[in-house]
Chains A and B, each alone.
Chain A
Amino acid sequence: MLKLLDGPQTLGRGKIFWSCFLAVLAGALIYPLFADSYDVGNFAYFLIWIFMALGLCLMWGYGGMLSFGQTFFFGIAGYGYGVLAINMGGGTTTIAALVLSVVIAMIAAGILGYFMIWGGISGIFFGIVTLSATLVLAFFLGQTAGPEWHIGSARLNGFNGMKGMDPLTVGSFDIEGSALYYVMIALIVIVYIALRMLVNSSVGNVIVATRENPQRAEMLGYDVRKYQLLTFVIGSGLAGLSGALYTSWGQFITPSSIGLPAAAMPIVWVAFSGRNDLTATLVGSFLLLFGFQTITVYSQQAALVLMGALLLATVMLAPQGFVLGIGKLVVDRWNRRRRRDEVPALADTSRLQSDET
């Protein structure tokens, strides 16, 4: 199983890569010991979005399906968590609410994905249909301000947003602050490792082959629709995980976290980072979220304009993504330097041998 951690579908392998991975993980684990609780809470906040980016990377980069629906499933799970947590009474049941809301998002992805994929929707039309579903959900939730819009005792509240749900809780312990940060780190490591193993497995081989040439993949005996649906459900489920965690973190959710500007964000993160690689997406999304958050403190409009400029720059200058491009450049230089170091060493050896003879 562990062999699947490294493979042709993921950049970064071998001792050096995994040593760096462990060093970064160790740094992340000791960070709360040195940072103040406000910064730790902020870090936990933007780690929430990483799942959504990794899900889009799987669908778009590996599966070739550009989904504009990440915030659709984010919203379903986010509102789902709120409705379930309020109606189930809070406390430890919030853990069940988190799991169930992600399952609901995955079921929704299964239904939408079935109709799209079995209906032969692909390419740009896949993006159009998922964007339409996202906008419909955002519009629908925006007009639920009246008291008649409630599920059990949970009021949807239109643009004012749903509130009043408990944060994730185990017994009487609320998972907030540093505890939430550690939960995020653990979940990101689990999801990242699991996705690496998935894309390097035989299933991942078919997912990538389907992106490259779906007809050829079918001609090898694969029902490519099932693989596309699996990819869509997993990728959308990860957006759902982001949504449920977001609602539990802030204890509220509004339709603006589903609408067009929000829906465009994952596309920017993943395009900028490099959609063809999980590690590039993980690192790039983290950097962008950190930057976005920092600039938002001064001006949200400026942060949005910067995101748009970054998307344009990516399309014009680095269609494969900036982080992935820089990563490849570093690896190439490293390999070239190693080869250069090896050649004189070999020359010295052969000189010694000729001296001996």
Chain B
Amino acid sequence: MALVDVKGVSKRFGGLTAVSEVDLTVNAGEVHCLIGPNGAGKSTLFKLIVGLYPPTTGSIFFDSIDITAERPYARVQRGMSIKMQAPSVFRELPVRQNIQVALQERLSGAECVAEEERLLTLLNLADDGGKLAGALSHGQQQWLEIGMALALQPQLLLLDEPTAGMSPEETHKTGELIKSFNAEGMTVLVVEHDMAFVRQVAQRVTVLHLGKIFARGSLEAILEDEKVAEIYLGKTHAH
């Protein structure tokens, strides 16, 4: 069953068409990766789905409801949760308070404190709860933001380059975390460059090229696709 259905969506910035007539379906319960070379329109499509840009044409459905005209906060209230490309945390607030802001709509009192501790431990930030978020390393800020996104217990977790700036160990751990959330039933849509990471987590892959859908299918099928290898992966990666 489709959780997200993008139908004929285009986005033009003046004379530049960043996304053109894109159809994309993300099924409930899958980890779906959106890949493509630089300038393919991945981040623009991501921002269209979360509501940061209004589409020039086309419609976006979430759980069969047309959300095209809804603002980002309304989409989040429907069950989306988002981690942006660059770390987007509340830099002048303590780490713990960052998580609290994300949790407080759903939980209160002792439940909120317990969940806060669980998330901080899960993300290796338990010892840094009192630090200002801006004082964390880049990788830790990425995790903190993932933690804030998870605190909402979303149906759909949207991650835009979640491992940017992370070490290989941190990247692997992030992949394992995503797989564990998915095993609990969470749908995940990831925009990612790192093919090792994509191999680790993806169940289905959509390839964007020059703002259009270039290929889609299972991870294996995409890795075997010669044309995808030519435009993006490099032939040595395909085999």
CA distance in complex: A247, B105 (Å):
42
Residues from chain A with a CB closer than 8 A to the CB of B72 are 215, 218-219
Given contacts A219-B50, A219-B84, A221-B105, contact A208 B93 (CB under 8 A): yes
Number of A-B contacts (CB under 8 A): 65
- Shortest Cβ distance from residue A90 to the other chain B in the assembled complex, whole angstroms: 47
| A interface, size bucket | 10 to 19
- Shortest Cβ distance from residue A22 to the other chain B in the assembled complex, whole angstroms: 28
B189 proximal to A (CB < 8 A): no
B44 proximal to A (CB < 8 A): no
CA distance in complex: A296, B89 (Å):
46
Q: What total of chain B residues lie within 8 Å of the partner, measured CB to CB? A: 27
Which of A215, A219, A222, A224 has the most chain B CB within a 10 Å cutoff? A219
Closest partner residue, chain A, to B151 (CB atom): A220
Q: Known A-B contacts: A209-B101, A220-B76. Give 15 more (CB < 8 A).
A: A8-B97, A208-B90, A212-B90, A212-B91, A213-B88, A213-B90, A215-B72, A216-B90, A217-B90, A220-B73, A220-B102, A220-B105, A220-B152, A221-B73, A223-B74
Residues from chain B with a CB closer than 8 A to the CB of A220 are 73, 76, 101-102, 105, 148, 152
**Cβ contact within 8 Å between B101 and A206:** yes
CA distance in complex: A285, B38 (Å):
54
CA distance in complex: A206, B50 (Å):
20
B25 proximal to A (CB < 8 A): no
Residues from chain A with a CB closer than 8 A to the CB of B148 are 216, 220
From B74, B77, B82, B90, give the contact of A209 (CB < 8 A): B90
A205 proximal to B (CB < 8 A): yes
**Cβ contact within 8 Å between A216 and B88:** yes
Closest partner residue, chain A, to B134 (CB atom): A212
From B74, B84, B104, give the contact of A205 (CB < 8 A): B104
A 186-217 binary contact with B (CB < 8 Å = 1; else 0): 00000000000000001001101100110111
Residues from chain A with a CB closer than 8 A to the CB of B91 are 212-213
9 A/B residue pairs, CB under 8 Å, sorted by A: A202-B104, A212-B92, A216-B84, A216-B89, A216-B90, A218-B71, A219-B73, A221-B77, A222-B73
B100 proximal to A (CB < 8 A): yes
- Shortest Cβ distance from residue B196 to the other chain A in the assembled complex, whole angstroms: 28
Given contacts A8-B94, A205-B97, contact A218 B89 (CB under 8 A): no
CA distance in complex: A205, B151 (Å):
15
Given contacts A205-B101, A206-B101, A209-B101, contact A224 B89 (CB under 8 A): no
